[in-house]
């Protein structure tokens, strides 16, 4: 494939996929270690009611109101989960299950009730995203990467996703020490004077930002898969957090690239005419990577007794 | 319109859907109880998402062999197979690797669902227009429910309920105390698998009505709701079944009585409403009960402290204490004790002195452990013991008799 074809059609979605995968995998490392992995699942479900409400208020399918709506919905969901957990003294998993399914159901109901036939807004879109359609029409080839006129026509999702990735990396970089200590030994972190509650909330908020930004570009499925699969696979490779983060970035990038390529070119090689869903394929590849590490990873065994 | 729906007057299809949803709700509620008590409610999330590739594969296979791709039993068998594989993956990952259960659940959920979506796009390109029925499995569709579909749901649900009934004792034992169950010679891993397998059966049966994303709610919300009302396992699963049944029935009725109201979401929202009622109004565990309990406790503390202050002649500045004493007729608005107030205050002070003796004496160790500053001493010691303590305290000293 030559540059004239690759740069406008494949490079932007590929980059968006990689950035989204890494932006989700970074906070995912801490969420997996803190046994809060499913918060990403909950957030990506409640994004739907958020965007539907935003659509009903503004009446248009524009990006910013929807992202604000999605972010608002994820904050409401986190608060609701915490409220149910504390007020009802229910275990966190069940509280999460109650909250996000109810909000998702409300979203579907609102969607069916409102007149959205004129716009492209449906459940499938929220789930799969539309990675393949994020093309860069102004590009003519590799030289366009240095052409300011062509660069102005980059898909806005690419710019948003890279900004999100920078923000997420900055958060992890700046709060590295507190995050690491409070993840492994919360009591010790508190004796050092760290506000662990606040830090936990900030971590969830960063995860929500990554989820909302990634959802807009690539759909919910990648978000859940990237929150959990690369960090979980990395966890089976090493005992050091620094190395785990590096592995998770490698795995996230691998899943995004291989998944995108397999979705785009795999069916053609097998003789089918149409491409398959890139989002689904990226999730599948990340699962395959996890399966490989679960069977061959050097640190896959648990030390000590398994949790009953 | 709603009443007609609730009394099954809206025609054949609506009646079928309402009864099916009600029955599904009962089965899901009863089965979900054990999953919830085992603290594994979200396993159902992994199970339900893992059904998608099975549905799609079954469709592809049936179409390839020239059949109708939307044959319900075939699709359900496919979904059961892939959900079963997902379930085994979850338990393998948690048993044999260091990953925690939530990570395993999330990984299986997203990977299976993602693969399912890949298969769905393959189907889209395979045979144009023939896959219309499959989207219904995401969010449920009851519009085209047939008598045969209802029968499938009924038989599947009944079989699940019968299994739950047969295995309810080992399942509740494992849910509450897995170590004790293992010490009794039970195979905990196998019973866990049974609990999750039953949840899987309900999921598969319910796919048609509420869809794979929302069936999770029917397995989680009713048991959580039921847990508020009672502390007994059998009652939890009974109430949970009732909550599930009512939400299925009312939800399907509502959905039939209004246009554009999809069945699955409305069932979930009805059960969420029931959950909210339980959260706020349940006796003992509800929010309202907790608030009332807090106020009662506050009143007791203030009364006690107020009486002790009166007895020792100290002024009372706390407004709530004063108001409570006044309302009980024990003090005047200026904080001076009434006749009754002086008597009660003297009793309170004497009780405090009695407690002091009790806590200093090893012989009363058991009773002393119950001291919390509020407990009436008569509820802990017998009259004879109190007389003996009074004897030790003696009468007022320095007062000529």
Q: What interface predicted TM-score (ipTM) does this complex get?
A: 0.91
What local confidence, expressed as pLDDT, does residue A308 receive? 47
Q: Is the dihedral of CA A236, A295, A232, A283 positive or negative?
A: positive
- With an 8 Å Cβ cutoff, is A243 touching chain B? no
Q: Using one digit for the tens of pLDDT, what is the confidence trace for A166-206?
A: 999 999 999 999 999 999 998 999 999 989 889 988 998 89
What homologous superfamily is domain A3-296 in, according to CATH?
ABC transporter involved in vitamin B12 uptake, BtuC (1.10.3470.10)
Cα angle B138, A205, B115; round to 5:
30
Nearest CA in chain B to A294: B97
- How distant, in Å, are the alpha carbons of A257, A278, B40, B300 from that of A263? 10, 5, 34, 69
- Give the CB-side neighbour count of residue A279, counting CA atoms within 13 A: 30
Contact A210, A270 (CB under 8 A): no
Q: How far apart are CA A233 and CA A245, in angstroms?
A: 11
Contact A55, A116 (CB under 8 A): yes
What local confidence, expressed as pLDDT, does residue B37 receive? 92
Q: How far apart are CA A74 and CA A242, in angstroms?
A: 29
Bridge partners for B44 per DSSP:
none
What phi, psi does B337 have (nearest 5°)? -70, 145
Which residues between 67 and 86 in chain A have a beta carbon less than 8 angstroms from any beta carbon of chain B?
A: 84
Nearest CA in chain A to B283: A88
What local confidence, expressed as pLDDT, does residue A124 receive? 66
A90: how many CB neighbours lie within 10 A of its CB? 22
- With an 8 Å Cβ cutoff, is A109 touching chain B? yes
**Residues of chain B with C-beta less than 8 angstroms from the C-beta of A283:** 110-111, 113-115, 117
Contact B192, B38 (CB under 8 A): yes
Contact A151, A145 (CB under 8 A): yes
Instruction: Please choose, from the candidates B98, B101, B97, B92, the residue with its C-alpha nearest in 3D space to the C-alpha of residue B41.
Output: B101
pLDDT tops 90 at residue A307: no
Who contacts B85 (Cβ-Cβ below 8 Å, separation ≥6)? B50
Which residues between 95 and 124 in chain B have a beta carbon less than 8 angstroms from any beta carbon of chain A?
A: 95-107, 109-118, 120-122, 124
A100: how many CB neighbours lie within 10 A of its CB? 28
Q: At what angle do helices B263-281 and A92-113 cross, to 10 degrees?
A: 130
Which residues between 195 and 214 in chain A have a beta carbon less than 8 angstroms from any beta carbon of chain B?
A: none
Bridge partners for B331 per DSSP:
B337
Bridge partners for B229 per DSSP:
none
Q: How far apart are CA B153 and CA B27, in angstroms?
A: 10
Q: How far apart are CA B286 and CA B224, in angstroms?
A: 12
Cα angle B274, B278, B282; round to 5:
150
What phi, psi does A294 have (nearest 5°)? -70, -25
Cβ separation A127–B122 shorter than 8 A: no
- How distant, in Å, are the alpha carbons of A44, A56, A77, A96, A218 from that of A101? 11, 21, 10, 8, 22
**Residues of chain B with C-beta less than 8 angstroms from the C-beta of A222:** 114
Q: Using one digit for the tens of pLDDT, what is the confidence trace for A209-222?
A: 898 888 877 888 88
SS3 A59: coil
Cβ separation A228–B106 shorter than 8 A: yes
- With an 8 Å Cβ cutoff, is B348 touching chain A? no
Q: How far apart are CA B271 and CA B241, in angstroms?
A: 11
Sorted by where each begins, the domain ranges of chain A are: 3-296
A interface mutation test: which of B99, B224, B273, B291 has the most A CBs within 10 A? B99
Q: What is the DSSP string of B227-280?
A: HHH-S-HHHHHHHHHHHHHHHHHHHHHHHHHSTT--HHHHHHHHHHHHHHHHHH
Which residues between 244 and 283 in chain A have a beta carbon less than 8 angstroms from any beta carbon of chain B?
A: 263, 267, 272-277, 279-283
SS3 B331: strand
Helix ranges (H only) for chain A are 3-9, 11-33, 39-58, 63-88, 92-113, 123-128, 148-151, 156-174, 176-184, 186-191, 196-218, 220-235, 241-269, 278-296
Domains and CATH numbers, chain B: 2-275 (1.10.3470.10), 288-393 (no CATH)
- With an 8 Å Cβ cutoff, is A144 touching chain B? no
- Stretch (H or E) spanning B74: helix B72-96
Q: What is the separation, in whole angstroms, between the first and last Cα of chain A? A: 53
Q: What is the DSSP string of B238-251?
A: HHHHHHHHHHHHHH
Task: Give pTM, 2 decimals.
Answer: 0.87
Distance between A132 CA and the closest CA of chain B, angstroms:
13
Cβ separation B279–A88 shorter than 8 A: yes
- With an 8 Å Cβ cutoff, is B272 touching chain A? yes
**For range A69-92, the mean pLDDT:** 89
Nearest CA in chain B to A225: B110
- With an 8 Å Cβ cutoff, is B127 touching chain A? no
DSSP B337: B
Nearest CA in chain A to B214: A101
Q: How far apart are CA B64 and CA B164, in angstroms?
A: 37
What local confidence, expressed as pLDDT, does residue A141 receive? 72
- Give the CB-side neighbour count of residue B99, counting CA atoms within 13 A: 37
- With an 8 Å Cβ cutoff, is A284 touching chain B? yes
Cβ separation A280–B115 shorter than 8 A: yes
Contact A101, B214 (CB under 8 A): yes
What local confidence, expressed as pLDDT, does residue B276 receive? 95
**Which of A98, A105, A303 is closest, CB to CB, to B224?**
A98
Q: Determine which of A58-67, A136-145, B14-23, B185-194 has the lowest per-residue pLDDT on average.
A: A136-145
Could you tell me the mean pLDDT of each successive run of 10 residues in chain B, 401 residues long?
70 83 92 92 91 90 78 87 94 90 92 90 69 69 75 87 91 91 91 91 86 88 94 92 94 85 89 95 91 94 91 89 90 87 90 89 85 84 88 76 57
Q: What is the DSSP string of A105-137?
A: HHHHHHHHHS--TTS---HHHHHH--GGG---T
Tally the residues of chain A.
308
**Residues of chain B with C-beta less than 8 angstroms from the C-beta of A94:** 36, 39, 41-42, 220, 223-224
């Amino acid at each position: 494939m030559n540059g004239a074809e690759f740069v406008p059609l494949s490079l932007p979605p590929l980059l968006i996929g990689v950035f989204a995968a890494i932006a989700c995998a970074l906070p995912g490392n801490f969420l997996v270690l803190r046994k809060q992995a499913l918060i990403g699942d909950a957030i990506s479900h409640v994004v739907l009611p958020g965007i539907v409400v935003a659509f009903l208020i503004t009446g248009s399918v524009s990006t910013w109101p929807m992202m604000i709506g999605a972010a608002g919905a994820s904050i409401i969901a986190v608060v609701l989960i915490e409220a149910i957990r504390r007020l009802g003294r229910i275990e966190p998993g069940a509280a999460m299950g109650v909250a996000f399914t109810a909000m998702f159901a409300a979203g579907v109901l609102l969607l069916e009730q409102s007149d959205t036939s004129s716009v492209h807004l449906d459940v499938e879109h929220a789930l799969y995203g539309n990675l393949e359609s994020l093309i860069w029409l102004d590009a003519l080839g590799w030289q366009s990467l240095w052409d300011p006129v062509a660069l102005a026509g980059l898909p806005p999702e690419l710019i948003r996703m890279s900004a999100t990735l920078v923000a997420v990396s900055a958060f992890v970089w700046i709060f590295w020490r507190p995050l690491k200590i409070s993840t492994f030994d919360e009591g010790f972190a508190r004796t050092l004077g760290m506000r662990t509650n606040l830090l936990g909330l900030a971590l969830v908020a960063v995860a929500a930002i990554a989820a909302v930004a990634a959802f807009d570009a690539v759909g919910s499925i990648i978000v859940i898969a990237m929150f959990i699969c690369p960090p979980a696979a990395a966890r089976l490779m090493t005992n050091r957090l620094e190395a785990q983060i590096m592995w998770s970035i490698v795995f996230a990038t691998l899943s995004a690239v291989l998944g995108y390529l397999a979705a785009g070119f795999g069916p053609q090689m097998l003789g089918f005419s149409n491409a398959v869903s890139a989002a689904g394929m990226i999730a599948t590849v990340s699962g395959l990577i996890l399966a490989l590490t679960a069977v061959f990873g050097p640190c896959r065994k648990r030390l000590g007794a398994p949790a009953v | 319109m709603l009443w007609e729906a609730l009394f099954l007057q809206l025609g054949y299809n609506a009646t079928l859907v309402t009864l099916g949803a009600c029955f599904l709700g009962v089965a899901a509620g009863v089965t979900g109880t054990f999953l919830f008590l085992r603290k594994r409610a979200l396993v159902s999330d992994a199970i339900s998402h893992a059904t998608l590739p099975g549905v799609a594969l079954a469709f592809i296979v049936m179409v390839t062999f020239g059949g109708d791709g939307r044959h319900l039993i075939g699709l359900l068998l496919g979904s059961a197979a892939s959900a079963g594989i997902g379930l085994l993956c979850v338990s393998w990952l948690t048993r044999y690797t260091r990953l925690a259960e939530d990570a395993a659940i999330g990984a299986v959920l997203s990977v299976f669902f993602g693969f399912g979506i890949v298969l769905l796009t393959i189907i889209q390109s395979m045979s144009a227009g023939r896959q219309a029925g499959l989207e219904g499995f995401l969010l449920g569709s009851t519009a085209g429910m047939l008598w045969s579909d209802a029968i499938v749901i009924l038989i599947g649900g009944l079989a699940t309920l019968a299994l739950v009934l047969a295995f309810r004792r080992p399942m509740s034992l494992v849910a509450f105390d897995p170590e004790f169950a293992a010490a009794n010679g039970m195979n905990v891993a196998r019973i866990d698998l049974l609990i999750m397998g039953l949840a899987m059966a309900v999921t598969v049966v319910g796919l048609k009505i509420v869809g794979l994303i929302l069936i999770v709610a029917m397995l989680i919300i009713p048991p959580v709701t039921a847990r508020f009302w009672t502390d007994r396992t059998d009652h939890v699963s009974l109430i949970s079944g009732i909550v599930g049944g009512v939400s299925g029935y009312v939800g399907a009725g509502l959905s039939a009585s209004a246009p554009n109201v999809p069945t699955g979401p409305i069932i979930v929202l009805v059960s969420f409403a029931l959950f909210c009622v339980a959260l706020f109004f349940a006796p003992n565990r509800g929010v309202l009960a907790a608030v009332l309990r807090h106020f009662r406790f506050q009143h007791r503390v203030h009364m006690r402290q107020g009486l002790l202050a009166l007895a020792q002649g100290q002024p009372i500045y706390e407004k709530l204490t004063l108001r409570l004493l006044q309302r009980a007729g024990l003090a005047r608005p200026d904080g001076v004790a009434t006749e009754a107030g002086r008597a009660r205050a003297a009793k309170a002070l004497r009780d405090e002195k009695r407690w002091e003796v009790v806590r200093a004496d090893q012989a009363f160790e058991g009773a002393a452990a119950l001291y919390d500053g509020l407990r009436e001493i008569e509820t802990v010691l017998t009259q004879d013991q109190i007389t003996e303590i009074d004897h030790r305290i003696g009468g007022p000293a320095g007062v000529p008799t």
